[in-house]
Amino acid sequence: MKDSKLIVLIDKYQQGNCTPAEKLIVEEWMNSLAVEKNAFEKINEEEKLAIKQKMFAKIKEEIKPLPKETVKLFNWAAYVKIAAVLVVFIGLAFSLVLAYDVFDWKNETLQASSEGQTKKVMLPDGSIIWLKGKSTLTYPEHFDQATREVSLSGEALFEVAKDAQHPFIVHSGNMDTRVLGTSFNIRPIGKHIEVVVFTGKVTVSLPNTNKQLLILPSEKAICMPAEKEIKAQTNVQKEEYLANTEYNMNFEDAQMSEIIKKIEAKFDVKVKLTDNTVANCLITADFTDQSLIKTFEVLCQTLNGTFEVENNSVWLRAEGCK
């Protein structure tokens, strides 16, 4: 059915002037939105964005402004007609929001890319991603689903914030990596994908197959999508994967001033001391793979202090070294 005929039918439907046959056509058209849901779920984010742009353009094209002469005469019947069509198109847009998440105005899809150097990306849940080489990470503005899902093209080191209720899933090529809160590195090697685990447990799987593997610290998985195989390796040295990142936060008899610099660089915050003598305290602790809050909780136990986070600043109140 041509769009112009559909608009006429919608107008008649709004006024209650449709024949039984015409009413059936309009209602079947509206109901078809739900039937096509599964098709939209298979579309990637770029295609969804293209659909959204095309539909907005179509809405603008169909809803024409009234001629100046009509405005001067205050033709309220014409205004009502335009409003009725507008309501239907707005209803269509919101139906698509609910059915396929095409129009997600409140939760934009963001993208970060590294241009040959390591780039840090901080996700809304507190997770830290180190993009390496020429890599791209696609992620939502905020996580509001049962799972925290991102897409990776290239290599990255992940420090995933712990959240047992919301698994973290990385889609990378033809491989999925699922964790609750841990640290690991994903790197493409030719047609294969390598996953190395530093802390916690990671499940690697190949979609549309029954192939999956649980990886523990210092273990590696080699995923081969074309062969539909996953191989495991043990006793993996992690040092080469940590280069140019601030992942390592292990300190032994380090001055508090040095630790503060590392914290500020890693979490993009400014640490402020109420007593500057605390900067000279010597600390031995391992904050690797810990969140900002957990890091300061441990520091405060050592320094017999308290802390408060205000926007991008952390105030540390401490009596001194134990």
Report percent pLDDT > 90 for the chain.
Answer: 54
Q: What is the pLDDT of residues 119-168, one digit of tens each?
A: 999 999 999 999 999 999 999 999 989 999 999 999 999 999 999 999 99
**pTM here?**
0.65
> What domains are defined for the chain?
3-100 (no CATH), 109-241 (2.60.120.1440), 250-318 (3.55.50.30)
One-character DSSP codes across 37-77: HHHHHTS-HHHHHHHHHHHHHHHHHHSPPPPHHHHHTT-HH
Contact assessment for residue 183 and residue 160, using Cβ atoms and an 8 Å cutoff = yes
pLDDT band at 7 (very low <50, low <70, confident <90, very high): low
Using DSSP's 3-state secondary structure scheme, residue 201 falls into coil
Tell me which residue has tokens 């509206």: 30
Half-sphere exposure of 51 (CA within 13 A, CB side): 17
Task: Specify the higher pLDDT residue, 137 or 107.
Answer: 137
Query: What are the structure tokens assigned to 291, written together?
Result: 């969140």
pLDDT in the model for residue 22: 66
CA geometry: angle at 173 spanning 170 and 177, to 5°?
Answer: 30
For residue 130, list its beta bridge partners: 120, 157
C-alpha count within 13 angstroms, C-beta hemisphere, residue 319 = 5
Report d(CA 238, CA 249) in Å as an integer.
14
Q: Indicate the DSSP class of residue 166.
A: S
What is the pLDDT, as a whole number, of residue 108?
86
Confidence band (pLDDT; 50, 70, 90) for 322? low
Report the distance separating Cα 214 and Cα 57, nearest Å: 47
Task: For the chain, give the percent of residues with pLDDT over 70.
Answer: 67
User: What residue has token string 């709004």?
Assistant: 14
Q: How far, CA to CA in Å, does 32 sit from each of 3, 26, 51, 57? A: 16, 10, 17, 21
Which tens digits make up the pLDDT trace of 217-232?
Answer: 999 999 999 999 999 9
> Which long-range contacts link 36-40 to residues 24+ away (Cβ below 8 Å)?
37/99, 37/100, 40/99, 40/100, 40/102
